[in-house]
Amino acid sequence: MRTVELAPPVREAVSAVPADLDSMLELLPVPAAVIEIADGRYAFAATNAPFRVAGLGLVASESPVVQLLGPRIGQFLASDLLQEEIAWRFGSEVDSRHFRAVLARRTAQERHCLITLLDQTSELRTEQSLRREMATDSLTGLPNRAGFSDELENRIAPGQATGFGVLVINLDRFSRVNACMGALAGDELLISVARRIKGALRGRDILARIGGDEFGVLMTLEEGPDDAVQVARRVHAALTNPFRLSNFEIRIDCSIGIALGADIEGDPEDLVRNAQLAVRRAKKSGRTEFYHTRAFDLAREQFAIETELRRAIENGRMSLAFQPICDLSTGRITSFEALARWTNEHGIAISPNDFIPVAEESGLIVPLGRWAMEEAARTLAEWDVRAGGNCGVKIAVNLSAIQLQRDQIGAMVKAALDRHAMPGSRFTLELTESAIVSDPDRIAQTMTALKDLGTTLAMDDFGTGYSNLAYLQKLPIDVLKIDRSFVTGMLADRDKIAIIRAILSLASALGMQTTAEGIETPELAQTLAALGCTYGQGYHYSRPVAGDAAFGLIGAAIA
Ligand code: C2E
Ligand code: CA
Ligand code: CA
């Protein structure tokens, strides 16, 4: 049998052997094929006739490669391609053979071609075993970090991670074992730990060692996130019994972080990263943690505030602070604004700027507001008793827009007044512009009801909302409270002064009084007094203080 020596790339080889090929074809019966077996490399030549395995031994002609190649040669010759590459794999996953065939000809008219057939089995096997070695942790025989990535990539199609979960299991204080007992003992322990974790998993879960003392589990979630929780529980249980290491009993615990495929959008690798973030949290909290998106964390934080706030209101753990409001011309305290205070179960004072919005969103503002009105009435009644008659000041209570929408404010205020035998004239109710914007007709009714009780009505944070001046005129408002943002820094800001002047003249035109908020210096107090503002409130006079301290301030005048 004549042989053709073909060296890749084939195209060059084709032009290098035209003579040989032609003479070779002449020598062979038509249709013809030549095969040379050397170094796992085969060469064929064929005519345009239906491919038959002429001149080949029985074994070669029955070879599946040759059988498969026949029809492909026909297709190639019928096409106008000059070169085509075909790859085949035969046999099972473990014992497979890999071939690559390159079909080539010099012109599209040529009715025969050269075929170079490469047996790449051993090449690929070497590559595979190398790859396997690189993806395997030599100590435990488990996939390592790279191997884990391969598994993620193989099992999860891009963007199809829903239904998968990753657990990251981090051993607690493992470095101590290495330090106290040596690295060999540490290795031994890791092997045992890996075996126990493996035993806690379901057959289809994939375990990998993704770090020195960190394992990863890729699992499918047939029943939802609870599957992952169950596995985490079993892993913890599997590690409860101590390990025996050369006469020592060692306890090893772990922290577990879980990431769910539903939380990621792109790369399956994000599952590992997210689970690693969760495991860092688990280390701190001491319990299994799920990875959550930032939105979820915020929602949970809000929920925690809400739960605690509800308890605080129910258990009477809220209090009121009182901040004086002074007559700007005399400096005398005419009233106190009641401001809610909350110290949570961990002794941390939470700002009303944080809990009032939560209370409004959750509806807790209704019981909170009722409590504040009740507590203000109770306090003022108590001050009167201590003063042996009318103590001479009013108390201002804040009403949120949500409260006005959801509660029967008129009845609520009246009930509180009645309980403490207080006249409405001793109270100011502070409303915000947003309350008016939301439902002007309803608010008008409520305000009239409050006026009928004799209370003073103040428009809080005036200037920050979208004041509808037409409504302002129609509503029974007594006082405009100029928002702190206009007062702060006004001495150096012509625009702010202009706005304050405008508010003051508007109030005067509508027959309303004014209170400036946020007065922190005597200069501000003097300037606002000179501009004709009626009242002032701010740190210059006093910060909000507890009830007893506030009572002590009554009668004082601050310049
Ligand atoms: P607000 O009604 O405008 O109350 C005035 C806020 O300004 C208070 O903050 C007070 O401490 C602060 N403040 C007073 N003078 C000064 C000053 O000179 N400088 C500065 N930088 N700040 C000053 P606080 O007590 O933190 O209350 C914040 C907000 O929470 C209140 O703003 C009010 O909108 C709301 N809030 C407080 N208690 C209640 C309540 O019982 N019910 C309702 N609905 N809202 C409340
Ligand atoms: Ca207020
Ligand atoms: Ca205000």
Do 311 and 221 share a structural domain?
no
Q: Which atom of ligand 1 is nearest to the CA of 483?
A: 3
pLDDT at 466: 61
Q: Are residues 368 and 416 in the same domain?
A: yes
- Three-state helix/strand/coil letters over 173-213: CHHHHHHHHCHHHHHHHHHHHHHHHHHHCCCCCEEEEEECC
- Residue 297 falls inside a structural domain: no
Give me the torsion for CA of 308, 312, 315, 319, rounded to 10°.
Answer: 170
Where is the domain boundary, 238, 266, 291? 291
Q: Are residues 40 and 14 in the same domain?
A: yes
User: What are the strands, taking DSSP E only, across 367-410?
Assistant: 394-398
Domain count, the chain: 3
- Same domain for 422 and 507, yes or no, is yes
The pLDDT of residue 492 is 93
**pLDDT of amino acid 381:** 98
Quote the CA–CA distance of 447 and 101 in Å, as a whole number. Answer: 90
Q: What is the pLDDT of residue 67?
A: 64
Q: pLDDT tens digits, residue range 357-396?
A: 889 888 899 999 999 999 999 999 999 999 999 999 999 9
Kindly report the protein residue whose alpha carbon is nearest to atom 27 of ligand 1. 352
CA–centroid distance, residue 418 to ligand 3 (Å): 27
In tens, the pLDDT along 458-490 reads 999 998 766 667 778 888 999 999 999 999 999
500, 382: one domain: yes
pLDDT digits (tens, 9 = 90+) for 412-439: 999 999 999 999 999 999 998 877 776 7
Per-residue pLDDT of 166-207, as tens digits, reads 999 999 988 888 888 888 889 999 999 999 999 999 999 999
Sign of CA dihedral 538, 468, 464, 337: positive
Considering the domain architecture, whether residues 250 and 317 belong to the same structural domain is answered as no
Are residues 33 and 153 located together in one domain of the fold?
no
Strand, coil or helix: 105: coil
User: What is the average per-residue pLDDT within 34-51?
Assistant: 45
| Tens-digit pLDDT profile for residues 209-268 | 999 999 999 999 988 888 898 999 999 999 989 998 877 888 899 999 999 887 666 688
Phi/psi of residue 216, nearest 5 degrees:
-120, 145
- Per the structure, the complete domain to which residue 110 belongs is given by 8-124
Both 157 and 119 in a single domain?
no
Chain-centre distance of CA 369, in angstroms? Answer: 33
Closest ligand 1 atom to Cα of 399: 44
- Does residue 52 register a pLDDT over 60? no
Which residue, 240, 236, 252, is CA-closest to 177?
252
Instruction: Looking at the structure, tell me whether residues 312 and 436 fall in a common domain.
Output: yes
Q: Which amino acid is at 256?
A: I
Instruction: State the pLDDT at residue 399.
Output: 96
Residue 130 within any structural domain of the chain: no
Task: Report the distance separating Cα 417 and Cα 394, nearest Å.
Answer: 13
* 247 within a domain of the structure (yes/no): yes
What single DSSP character describes residue 263? Answer: G
Is the pLDDT score of 6 beyond 60?
A: no
- Tell me, what's the pLDDT at 298? 62
Ligand nearest to the CA of residue 372, numbered in listed order: 1
CATH number for 239: 3.30.70.270
Residues 114, 233: one domain? no
Residue 35 clears pLDDT 80, i.e. is over it: no
Look at residue 300 in the predicted model and tell me its pLDDT: 65
Query: Ligand 1, atom 25: nearest CA belongs to which residue?
Result: 339
Per-residue pLDDT, averaged over 454-461, amounts to 96
Same domain, 337 and 463: yes
Q: Give residue ranges with CB within 6 A of ligand 1.
A: 323, 339-340, 351-353, 356, 369, 372, 398, 400, 460-461, 484, 518-520, 537-539, 544
How far does the centroid of ligand 3 lie from the alpha carbon of residue 379, in Å? Answer: 21
Alpha helix segments (H runs only) across 388-408: 401-406
Q: Among residues 254, 269, 291, which one ends one of the domains?
A: 291
* Domain termination site, one of 291, 319, 344: 291
CATH code of residue 441: 3.20.20.450
Distance 483 CA to ligand 3 centre (A): 6
**pLDDT, tens only, 76-111:** 878 899 998 888 777 776 677 777 777 878 788 877
Domain-located, residue 1: no
pLDDT at 293: 67
The answer to whether residue 2 is domain-embedded is no
The reply to whether 131 falls in a domain is: no
Domain membership of residue 3 (yes or no) is no
pLDDT for the residue numbered 383: 98
The residues, any chain, with a CB within 8 Å of residue 50's CB and separated by 6 or more, are 31, 70, 74
- When pLDDT is cut at 50, 70 and 90, the band that residue 295 belongs to is low
Which residue among 318, 335, 337, 339 has the greatest number of ligand 1 atoms within 8 angstroms of its CB, and so is best to mutate? 339
Q: Is the peptide bond before 31 cis (omega within 30 degrees of 0)?
A: yes
3-state secondary structure of 323: strand
Which residue is closest in CA terms to ligand 1's atom 26? 352
